[in-house]
């Protein structure tokens, strides 16, 4: 595929401006002062190009989000046409626009059960933040304001607002206050680390027992909700044991506790379903949040989808709902989402992931036999490789080894972009990936792991 053309720009300018003026999200800023930048200048299909014109296969799908692939003309047309028709108008009070109404109806048609109400925002963090505010407001309206406590899990990632950072793994709250009064972390369903020696079913029993005892110790009538990703993404692509979500939801509902499914990564095809909660995990949550694949990252947009039951309470006489954003229902973003969903439907991308996902699992699985690799896990187009210094003990490398970044660099040398996350590399490619591209990922990862093992040996680092 030829690189799309852009106007020439002095090489090095972007990196220089970045070093001088930018702060990157979730970065070791000290390290970044010295480290090189990879300036991504162009993108088309399943590929991106750096400013020197070098092409990389996009193994990370932007940031779990480029589901339909990059640079689609019809996305550009839909977006520009919407800008020409209605660039923006307020969604507040009784104002509305056709794109947001159409998208609300579309999302309701895909959401399970009576999840027919949608409030839009701009990113996964604000979608989860809104979900929590909806839940607290709901209990307040029902005359149970003591129901404030939230169950979440270790290895969770729900976002980077103050409350969603608190709902995420405690490791994300370094240097600022973590909400501890009403946020409770259960262990994650991470069988490789938490369930060693147990069968899936035994491990599931342990997790459910912990959830029950935590609810009992808080006091069931003080617990507002549980929030969980169907597969924990940024925490390490943690696939729960079979039946875990169903049993968690049943347990929560038996105590009247609401269940929020954070589908920011898993919705819109990544696991082969538009919405994974019911189709894949057999649950109908009370609230679903989504973002990322909703527009495939072309423009920012998120949605919090809630049940008619919750909405009925929030819209009772005398209630006022204090939550929303200038861009809740931005017509350009909603138009982009509608076009994106139309493409996913027309090209049958969910079916494609169901077909091709197992191949990605298959090409990555043999990495387990290589040095450094402790675990390979995930599902379909959401995969992860975990590195360890000691395979038997499953001991991690010291953070200063930057093992995920080393392998990431060695993949880049072979024209593949993956995501480094401490001791992990994560894969969430466009859903349009071809068979030869999937096999390419397998080969490059194999070689990059072996190169990295040689590099560490030369440096005198021991592993085994
Ligand atoms: C499951 C999940 N929820 C929420 C978020 C936050 O989304 P955003 O970065 O768009 O705010 C993310 C981001 O990766 C995520 O993976």
**Domains of the chain, earliest start first:** 13-68+350-458 (3.90.1150.10), 75-346 (3.40.640.10)
DSSP type of residue 39:
-
Phi, psi at 224, each rounded to 5°: -85, -50
Ligand 1 atom having least distance to the Cα of 126: 11
Q: What is the largest CA-CA distance in the chain?
A: 71
Of 332, 331, 295, 302, the C-alpha closest to 159 is 302
Ligand 1 atom having least distance to the Cα of 291: 10
**Signed CA dihedral, 257, 258, 262, 266: sign only:** positive
Q: What is the pLDDT of residue 403?
A: 97
Element (H, E) at 21: helix 13-21
Ligand 1, atom 7, lies closest to the CA of 124
Cβ-proximal residues to 366 (8 Å cutoff; 6+ apart), any chain: 442, 446
Ligand 1 atom having least distance to the Cα of 122: 10
Q: What is the pLDDT of residue 4?
A: 67
Distance CA 418, CA 58 (A): 7
CA atoms within 13 A on the CB side of 310: 33
Pocket test of ligand 1: the residue of 124, 164, 169, 237 to mutate, having most ligand atoms within 8 Å of its CB, is 124
CA–centroid distance, 161 to ligand 1, in Å, is 10
Ligand 1 atom having least distance to the Cα of 300: 10
Joined tokens for residue 438: 């999937």
Question: Please, what is the angle between helix 331-346 and helix 98-110, to 10°?
Answer: 40
Joined tokens for residue 320: 């006022």
- Virtual CA dihedral for 351, 355, 356, 362, nearest 10 degrees? 150
The answer to whether 365 and 443 have CB atoms below 8 angstroms apart is no
The answer to whether 419 and 56 have CB atoms below 8 angstroms apart is no
pLDDT along the chain (464 residues), means of 10: 69 92 93 90 97 96 98 98 98 96 98 98 98 98 98 98 96 84 97 97 98 98 98 98 98 98 98 98 98 98 98 94 95 98 98 98 98 98 98 95 96 97 96 98 98 97 95
The answer to whether 118 and 107 have CB atoms below 8 angstroms apart is yes
Q: What is the pLDDT of residue 177?
A: 82
CA–centroid distance, 458 to ligand 1, in Å, is 38
Ligand 1 atom having least distance to the Cα of 124: 7
The answer to whether 320 and 140 have CB atoms below 8 angstroms apart is no
- Virtual CA dihedral for 291, 295, 298, 300, nearest 10 degrees? -40
| Helical spans, DSSP H, in 70-123 | 73-85, 98-110
- Give the 3-state secondary structure of residue 354: helix
DSSP letters of 382-409? Answer: EEEEEE-SBTTTTBPPPGGG-HHHHHHH
Burial class (CB in 10 A: 0-12, 13-18, 19+), 200: middle
Joined tokens for residue 110: 């895909």
- Give the 3-state secondary structure of residue 421: strand
Q: What is the pLDDT of residue 174?
A: 81
CA–centroid distance, 334 to ligand 1, in Å, is 19
How many residues are present in the chain?
464
Vertex 107: Cα angle to 106 and 108 (nearest 5): 90
Distance CA 440, CA 438 (A): 5
Lining ligand 1 with CB less than 6 A are 64, 123-125, 128, 157-160, 229, 233-234, 262, 264-265, 291
């Amino acid at each position: 595929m030829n690189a799309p053309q852009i106007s020439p720009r002095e090489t090095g300018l972007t990196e220089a401006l970045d070093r001088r003026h930018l702060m990157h999200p979730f970065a070791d800023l000290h390290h970044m002062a010295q480290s090189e930048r990879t300036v991504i200048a162009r993108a088309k299909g399943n590929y991106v190009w750096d400013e020197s014109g070098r092409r990389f296969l996009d193994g990370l799908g932007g940031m779990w989000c480029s589901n339909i692939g990059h640079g689609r003309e019809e996305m550009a047309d839909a977006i520009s046409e919407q800008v020409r028709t209605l660039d923006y108008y307020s969604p507040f009070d009784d104002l509305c626009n056709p794109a947001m109404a159409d998208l609300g109806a579309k999302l309701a048609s895909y959401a399970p059960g009576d999840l027919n109400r949608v409030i839009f925002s701009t990113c996964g963090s604000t979608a989860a933040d809104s979900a929590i505010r909806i839940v607290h407001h709901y209990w307040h309206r029902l005359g149970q304001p003591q129901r404030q406590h939230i169950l979440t899990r270790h290895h969770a990632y729900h976002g980077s607002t103050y409350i969603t950072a608190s709902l995420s793994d405690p490791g994300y709250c370094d240097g600022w206050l973590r909400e501890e009064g009403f946020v409770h972390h259960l262990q994650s369903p991470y069988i490789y680390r938490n369930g060693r020696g147990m069968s899936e079913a035994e491990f599931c029993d342990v997790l459910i027992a912990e959830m029950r005892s935590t609810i009992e110790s808080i006091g069931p009538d003080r617990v507002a909700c549980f929030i969980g990703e169907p597969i924990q993404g940024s925490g390490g692509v943690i696939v729960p044991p079979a039946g875990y979500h169903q049993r968690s939801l049943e347990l929560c509902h038996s105590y009247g506790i609401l269940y929020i499914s954070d589908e920011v990564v898993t919705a819109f095809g990544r696991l082969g379903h538009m919405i994974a909660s019911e189709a894949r995990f057999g649950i109908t949550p009370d609230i679903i949040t989504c973002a990322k694949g909703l527009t495939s990252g072309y423009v920012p947009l998120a949605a919090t989808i809630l049940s008619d039951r919750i909405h009925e309470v929030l819209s009772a006489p005398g209630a006022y709902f204090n939550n929303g954003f200038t861009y809740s229902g931005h017509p350009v973003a909603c138009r982009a989402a509608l076009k994106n969903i139309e493409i996913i439907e027309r090209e049958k991308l969910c079916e494609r992931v169901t077909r091709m996902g197992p191949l990605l699992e298959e090409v990555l699985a043999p990495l387990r036999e290589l040095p450094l690799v402790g675990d390979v896990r995930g599902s379909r187009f959401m995969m992860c490789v975990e590195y360890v210094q000691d395979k038997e003990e499953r001991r991690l490398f010291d953070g200063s080894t930057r093992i995920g970044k080393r392998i990431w660099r060695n993949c880049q040398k072979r024209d593949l972009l993956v995501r480094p996350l401490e001791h992990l590399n994560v894969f969430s490619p466009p859903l349009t990936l071809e068979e030869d591209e999937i096999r390419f990922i397998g080969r490059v990862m194999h070689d990059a792991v072996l190169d990295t093992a040689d590099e560490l040996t030369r440096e005198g680092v021991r592993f085994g």
